[in-house]
Amino acid sequence: MRLGRYAAAALAGGWLLSGCALSVNQELELGQDYAAQLARELPLVDDPAILADLELVTRRLTPHTRRREVTYRFYVVNDSTVNAFAVPGGYIYLFRGLIEAAGSMDQLAGVIGHEIGHVELRHSAEAIGRAQAAEAGIGVAGVLLGGRTGARVQQGATLAGTLVFAKFSRDDERESDSAGVALLTQAGVNPGGLAAMFETLQRLERSRPSAIAQWFASHPMTEDRIEDVNRRIAADPRATALLQTGERDAPEFERLRRNVRPLPPPPRRR
């Protein structure tokens, strides 16, 4: 999934209407603007212990990324919806609901690897280039973010008025899954974690459908994706070996999940 705050800049610059992908500098600038706005609009967790443990998990993957101009940054959103998204330029938002739902470190790492994949492959920059003008803006951020946070954003309308949602294609999602598997493999983490997370989400969809409806809306065809991920692993001997020997869990993940669970919900804004 992806958000992009580009409407004003795009219209001012004129490049959007020409249908070109964003340049790297444009992508980084828009990402920075957007992250600043999200910091004001989203209930981000600032607990140092939680962020330190998240960093210990993400640090397994980030050394293996290829885009030297991107510094990956990770945030925890205090919202129990199972959701995650990445913003152009390497800002990645993990909802507490996702962390709580993950059964083990490799499952969370799988989703993080998938979101990193969208950034590595510049999906948003390309999608923004494909998008037509800013007419899709209203309500899009709320719809995309989903859950209570989405409702709050829609009420606030500040984000919704300035954002356009660039929806990813199935190919984009498949490529990001593949990139996620590759990252897990390079990191020595069990690459089956991504497929295991999909299975966790399928179980959750049956038991607590409202919690993850949004994730499924933006990441559909989970059965196919599990099969694709398994095929991708089977095609790579190193990945296949890591199904047995790869890292599955870590004390920092267990601690992260334990510390996220009792977090009180954010105060209501309005």
Interface residues with Zn ion (CB under 5 A) are 173
Contact of 58 with 74, CB cutoff 8 Å: yes
Estimate the crossing angle of helix 123-130 against helix 24-41, to 10 degrees: 100
The distance of closest approach from Cβ of residue 27 to Zn ion in the complex, given in angstroms and rounded to an integer, is: 17
Contact of 2 with 124, CB cutoff 8 Å: yes
Backbone angles phi, psi at 103, to 5 degrees: -80, -25
The distance of closest approach from Cβ of residue 118 to Zn ion in the complex, given in angstroms and rounded to an integer, is: 6
What's the CA gap between 91 and 170, in Å, rounded?
A: 22
Contact of 124 with 114, CB cutoff 8 Å: no
2 vs 60 by CB, closer to Zn ion: 2
What's the CA gap between 214 and 97, in Å, rounded?
A: 12
